[in-house]
Structure 1
Amino acid sequence: MQADIFTLFVNFIKTLLPTAFEEYAGLIASLPVFALIYVFYLIVIRSVMLTFRKVGMPREASGGIIFGVRLLFFAFALLFLLASAGSVLSAYIVAGGAVLGAFIGLAFSKALQNIVSGFYVLVARPFRVGDYVRMGDSEGIVVEITLNYTRLLRPDHTRQIIPNSTTIDQRLTNFRVRVDDYFDERGMEFDRDVFDLDGEEETRFRDAVHKLRNLLKGDEVYRYTFDIELEKTCSQSEAKAYFTKVCQKWEESFILPPEFFFWSSAATSITYRFAFVVIDPKEIFTKGQDFKAELAQFSTK
């Protein structure tokens, strides 16, 4: 019955068109159908998103399902177009698709690579939503993971979209660590001189360790690291004294007192690495940035 109605509508369109354009009647008649399909698509996508939000499904999982629904609608619309375009126009569409397929394939290969990389990210989970990560030259809090891209909230509160293929290819650092693993990895190698910077008794170190141990086993924190590069012409003793003073000033602001150590040396510069531990990654945006800014003042002194 629906096919008969559509056929009648196509025949009606043919009566309005010149003879040379009658083959396009099916395509023109399908335009209202495409409009209805698009409206139905918007309703379905909106309903799916609201449902996932109510049940608390992670964004990385819901994003993949929504992408699959979009592909399904696209495939249905394409099949309907070929079925309603008419034999002549369908032949042109198929022939044109063969010619354009190579060009579209080259463009789609990158998208396909992103999707494959997205599956890897979802399965291997090198990071998850809420982690503070550094990807190449970009860093921030992961706010969304889809099959195509990963979205970061950067320290300047802008959001950066990184294709998943780029995510896999770049050097990745996830600053999230488990508390129990953190102790196991450092073990007896704690440099207590770093945590007890002025040579006083170890009460500060013990208090800091106690703060961490008060967290339940398996809880996670973020140990953020960054580098400061100094010219070799600078007084290294003055630099260390200043860095030590700043770390002492900020020791109550973090779970453990901030630490620094020699990292690398180049022909004209020396690099020191700094580290501090927080529970909430957003503190890297606030306390962490203020801490870095104060350390950077040494170069202006």
Structure 2
Amino acid sequence: WLNQQTPFGLTLAQILSIAVICSVAITLERLITRYLRRFAKRASLERNVSNNLILTFRILVLLGSSVAIIRVGGLDTQWFLAFSALGGAALGFASSQTIGNFVAGLYLLATRPFKVGDYVRLGAVEGIVQEMTTNYTKVLTMGNNLVSIINLQILQRDMVNYLYEDEPRKLYCYTFEIGFDHSVSAEKLEGIFEQVFKQYDKLPRKPNYVLLRSGAFDRVYMIYLYVENPEEIFTLRPRITLEVFKLWDKEKQN
């Protein structure tokens, strides 16, 4: 009796098989959605990022169940070939770069080399991460510009996260270079640093400096700033740099 033809042109066995496929697809979709929502909550992902992930897996479940229903329904082979050709054309329409960018976005969300709110340097761009999606990452720079970088380019660049992970509290250790000629001695330069840094003893840690390199024409120092709020970097770096160079110019005139 399962092979009896119904008014819909399908046998009872085919209808039952399609019902089972739909039930499995619905159950699978709900399980995946529930898992992804929990994962997004644990990983503190942005809402639009978690929604994009859920939508992607829902589409995959829908495509898989549709192909299974077409096979079970016993549609003409030409219908199946037409469906496959349509899917192939859709995939071919999407460029390899777009697919690669989407995969790169999933990789960044899974590995989490940085998160929203971190102060980072991505190649030549540095600033505070404002938004992360499966397609791009937005960074607010020191010049108050919001720069969007596609995720595929991020994986091809050097990534630096200034989060200082050794501390029990959340702390950022930001570094930058300052260079001088040899018109002022190293001892006086160190005195200038100490005089300027003394004004910032209320920071989580006092700023520090290290001689990075010394050549025939200049000396270059690495400055270390420790802050809890990464937005402070936007104001502290130019302020400290200006104060150091003012005292350096004064020493040159003496």
Aligned to 1:66: 52
* Alpha-carbon offset, residue 58 of structure 1: 4.7
Q: Is the 8 A contact 2:192 2:248 kept in 1?
A: no
Alignment partner of 2:173: what SS?
Answer: strand
* Alpha-carbon offset, residue 270 of structure 1: 2.2
Aligned to 1:149: 136
Question: Alignment partner for residue 235 of structure 2, among 286, 289, 298?
Answer: 286
1:256 partner letter: R
Q: Is the 8 A contact 1:247 1:257 kept in 2?
A: yes
Residue 111 and residue 292 in structure 1: after superposition, are their counterparts in 2 closer, same or farther (change >3 A)?
A: farther
* Alpha-carbon offset, residue 228 of structure 1: 0.7
Q: Is the 8 A contact 2:52 2:134 kept in 1?
A: no
TM-score, L = length of structure 2: 0.62
1:175 partner letter: Y
Question: Alignment partner for residue 223 of structure 1, among 173, 177, 197?
Answer: 173
Where structure 2 has 5 or more consecutive residues not aligned to the other structure, the ranges are: 1-36, 64-81
**Distance in 1 between the 2:215 and 2:110 partners?**
39
**Distance in 2 between the 1:139 and 1:117 partners?**
20
Aligned to 2:154: 167
Aligned to 2:191: 241
1:276 and 2:232 matched = no
Deviations 1:133-184 (A, max 9, x none): 1112211111101111110111122211112122122111111123xx24xx
Aligned to 2:209: 260
**Distance in 2 between the 1:233 and 1:282 partners?**
34
Q: Is the 8 A contact 2:117 2:130 kept in 1?
A: yes
Q: Is the 8 A contact 1:250 1:258 kept in 2?
A: yes
1:119 and 2:68 matched = no
Alignment partner of 2:164: what SS?
Answer: strand
Question: Alignment partner for residue 115 of structure 2, among 106, 128, 141?
Answer: 128
Residue 116 and residue 258 in structure 1: after superposition, are their counterparts in 2 closer, same or farther (change >3 A)?
A: same
**Distance in 1 between the 2:175 and 2:191 partners?**
20
TM-score, L = length of structure 1: 0.53
Deviations 1:224-255 (A, max 9, x none): 11111223454333222211211112223x11
**Distance in 1 between the 2:185 and 2:97 partners?**
50
* Alpha-carbon offset, residue 265 of structure 1: 3.5
**Distance in 1 between the 2:150 and 2:219 partners?**
34
How high is the sequence identity, in percent, across the aligned residues?
30
Where structure 1 has 5 or more consecutive residues not aligned to the other structure, the ranges are: 1-51, 77-90, 183-217
**Distance in 1 between the 2:155 and 2:216 partners?**
32
* Alpha-carbon offset, residue 59 of structure 1: 5.1
2:161 partner letter: N
Aligned to 2:11: none
2:192 partner letter: Y
2:51 partner letter: I
Q: Is the 8 A contact 1:114 1:165 kept in 2?
A: yes
**Distance in 2 between the 1:61 and 1:264 partners?**
46
**Distance in 2 between the 1:264 and 1:68 partners?**
50
